[in-house]
Amino acid sequence: MDAETFEEKKFTDFFPQLQQAYKNAFNRVNETYDSTLVHGIDQQILNESEPFYDDEEGFYLEVPEDPYDRLTGVVASEEKFEAVLEEYVEEIETELERTFEN
């Protein structure tokens, strides 16, 4: 995998693999944390995130600015939210590595 290929094909040729990676990460995080918070993060923050690949750093996810402020309809402290969001993003990045490095 290289950055140019990933960027060029992520929403065309690689879209099914991206969907599966996100689904796998969601399922793992949802088993560990409050499902209402996980669903809120998934639908209100990560739906506006985008995966990228860097030739030196690997996969990473760009999350929109001020993610806690985007969360509505879910009661969670900012500390808890940040911890779950961080874990969720790490799981997605790990899944992307597994999916595309093999």
- 71 C-beta neighbours (distance < 10 Å), count: 19
Average pLDDT over residues 74-87: 95
Tokens of 86: 């961080």
Q: Which pLDDT does position 102 carry in this prediction? A: 59
Q: Tell me: pLDDT of 48 over 70.
A: yes
Domain ranges of the chain: 3-101
